[in-house]
Amino acid sequence: MSTLTQRTSGLVQRRTEAIRSAAAEKEKESGGEEDEVRRGEEEDDDKGDSKETRLTLMEEVLLLGLKDREGYTSFWNDCISSGLRGCMLVELALRGRLQLEASGVRRKSLLARKVICKSDAPTGDVLLDEALKHIKETQPPENVQSWIELLSGETWNPLKLHYQLRNVRERLAKNLVEKGVLTTEKQNFLLFDMTTHPLTNSTIKQRLVKKVQDSVLEKWVNDPHRMDKRVLALILLAHSSDVLENAFAPLQDEQYDLAMKRVHTLLELEPEKESAKPNVNELMWAVVAAFTK
């Protein structure tokens, strides 16, 4: 009798352990995707920045484009609007929210592949979450070129005008005001008043400019796949937004020429070939292809 009781007790104990093990395995699997998204957000964070002053790609590109004292971008810059939308797509990809569909056996071109929502977890950024919501809910999916146009409001289809993200520059500037980088003023331009956002924290702007300069000068590695993904994206997207030269303006002539020469080396890369290499952000190269086609 005692032996039977021991056997029964042992059987119950083994079953209990098996159930606990299965539950733990299931919890581990369910948490895997969240961990991957979290890693996507954290791996590209600037280690030297505090949490309050970490900037998104959109904010960095806008900050490079803003005139320090005047607090607005050049009236002649007609590239920054679409450039900022491209920044949003790449930022979402870097955070593990978006990816391109599989290239398939015939290997579709980057611009033929659709943008897929990988995770709809909130990013904590209103603009990014708004763009992510549009992409997630759109069926059938659209490609990168279409999303840049739709988010910019550049469409002839009135049924797709609701995709446009409005007042993007103003909303990004307000984010930078909240982060203590800019301030808000009103300026009179004869026929109208305009809200401007002059620079108030020059340290953060200088740090951003130095990061861009160092990436093609002191820290140049002559291989885009050895560069930090976020810095590489910043350089390419800042060029597409026509604000990159602002970061090189303070340089001496020799340094300026060298920096621009190396930037052109990056711009001459073929997105299709680069995206086929291991450990790359395919969506970033698709955005680059959209701006250089």
CATH number at residue 215: 1.10.3630.10
Q: Say if 117 falls within a structural domain.
A: yes
Residues 200, 111 contacting (CB under 8 angstroms): no
Domain that residue 205 falls in: 57-292
Residues 242, 79 contacting (CB under 8 angstroms): yes
- Comparing 176 with 5, the larger pLDDT belongs to 176
Residues 199, 66 contacting (CB under 8 angstroms): yes
Residue 211 has a pLDDT of 97
For the cut 80, the answer to whether the pLDDT of residue 1 exceeds it is no
> Which of 102-106, 186-190, 193-197 ranks highest by mean pLDDT?
193-197
Smallest CA-to-CA distance from 260 within 211, 217, 210 is with 217
What whole-number distance in Å separates Cα of residue 135 and Cα of residue 142?
A: 8
Range in 118-127, 130-139, 193-202, 244-253 with the lowest mean pLDDT: 193-202
pTM confidence score: 0.83
Q: Say if 27 falls within a structural domain.
A: no
Q: Say if 259 falls within a structural domain.
A: yes
What whole-number distance in Å separates Cα of residue 227 and Cα of residue 233?
A: 10
The two tokens of residue 154 are 């550049």
Q: Say if 214 falls within a structural domain.
A: yes
Residue 103 has a pLDDT of 87
- Average pLDDT along the chain: 85
Q: Say if 144 falls within a structural domain.
A: yes
Q: Which residues pair with 117 in a beta bridge?
A: 98
- Per-residue confidence at 264, pLDDT binned at 50, 70, 90? very high
Q: Say if 174 falls within a structural domain.
A: yes
What mean pLDDT is predicted for residues 66-93? 93
- Looking at the structure of the chain, the number of domains it has is 1
Q: Say if 34 falls within a structural domain.
A: no
Q: Say if 20 falls within a structural domain.
A: no
> Does residue 141 have a cis peptide bond before it, meaning omega lies within 30 degrees of 0?
no
The two tokens of residue 140 are 């059938």
- Per-residue confidence at 4, pLDDT binned at 50, 70, 90? very low
Residue 43 has a pLDDT of 47
For the cut 60, the answer to whether the pLDDT of residue 33 exceeds it is no
